[in-house]
Amino acid sequence: MIAPLRGAPTSSLLARVAAGQVGGVILLGGWSSLRATAAAVARLQQVSCTRRGTPLLVGVDQEGGAVRRLTWAAPTLAAASMRTPSVANAQARAAARAMRAAGIAIDFAPVADTLSTPRSFLGTRSFGSDPATVAALVRAFVRGLQGGGVAATAKHFPGLGSAVASTDDRPVAIARSAAFLDARLAPFEAAIAAGAKLVMVSNASYPALDRSGTPAVFSHTIVGELLRRELGFDGVVVSDALDAGAVAHVADEPGRALAAGVDLLLYSRTSASEAGYSQLVRDAATSASVRGELAAAVRRIDALKSSLGLAC
């Protein structure tokens, strides 16, 4: 369970960490200094290590440009302004140095979506409209981050470049053909080939890939078959925000995401993360399949922590 953190950890969040109800946090809002960021992360890790014997996963949306939670840190450029692989790599390396100094081990970046309409809500968050160009820049960004000891996250699989509305706000269906969507998987394939440790799955639905119209985050066809089996990704799969407008109405979100092949369940609101944890506990108590899916997710998460050198 990935819970939101918007400032110094509250006593209630620390209690949840101590009780094992939180496996990590995502830093949201604006963080204006290295000192404040590092202090918040250190306090959480102290409680997790003392009470649970294992470190938390700490991540942040540090894409650059408009999506830059650490206002004091790189990337200073938006993806659309990183026009060459060398620039993307340098920006990512600088970001990694800053994040590791603050105790952050995961960047929920880069955006691997290829713009497919001038009305895309992503705007400058994408590297561009040509899949091959986007793939080269994504590859360079991933290598820059991970060369600096920070895990990269290719998002939003299998692609949001055709969306004109954000899944944060409402349900979104990508009405494109399978051939069209497959041609835009190249940046995700490049990220996987470069060793990206995480992939974030979209909350949109893709009827051409899964005829049921199930949002990708709940689709075993898209996560288990396309991402894991066909593309060969064996790292950690993280959801987009499960309390987003596109999927917040779906019953039993945590269990359905796990069944699809998702490992980390991300929430942007505290109350939603608490409800998600409670639902997952109830599901695990009554379902052997959920317990098995949890065990598989924990194995991949433990491998991620080990690869990042995270230990108490």
Question: Among all residues, which ones are annotated catalytic?
Answer: 240
| Under 8 Å between Cβ of 95 and 137 | no
Find how far residue 138's CA is from the centre of its chain: 15
Question: What single string gives the DSSP state of each residue in 182-214?
Answer: HHT-HHHHHHHHTT-SEEEEPSSB-TTT-TT--
Long-range contacts of residues 13-21, Cβ cutoff 8 Å, at least 24 apart: 13/44, 13/270, 14/43, 14/44, 14/47, 16/274, 16/277, 17/44, 17/47, 17/48, 17/51, 17/52, 17/56, 18/47, 18/48, 18/51, 18/52, 20/52, 21/274, 21/277
Nearest Cα neighbor of 141 from 264, 37, 304, 133 is 133
* Residue 65: both structure tokens together: 């440009």
Q: Strand 106-107 relative to strand 67-68: parallel, antiparallel, unpaired?
A: unpaired
How far apart (Å, rounded) are the C-alpha atoms in residues 120 and 143? 27
Q: Which two tokens stand for residue 265?
A: 């369940």
Could you tell me which of 163, 243, 176 has the C-alpha nearest to residue 204?
A: 163
Whole-number Å distance between alpha carbons of 112 and 186: 9
Give every CB contact of residue 262 below 8 A, 6+ residues apart in sequence. Answer: 201, 217, 223, 237, 238, 239, 297
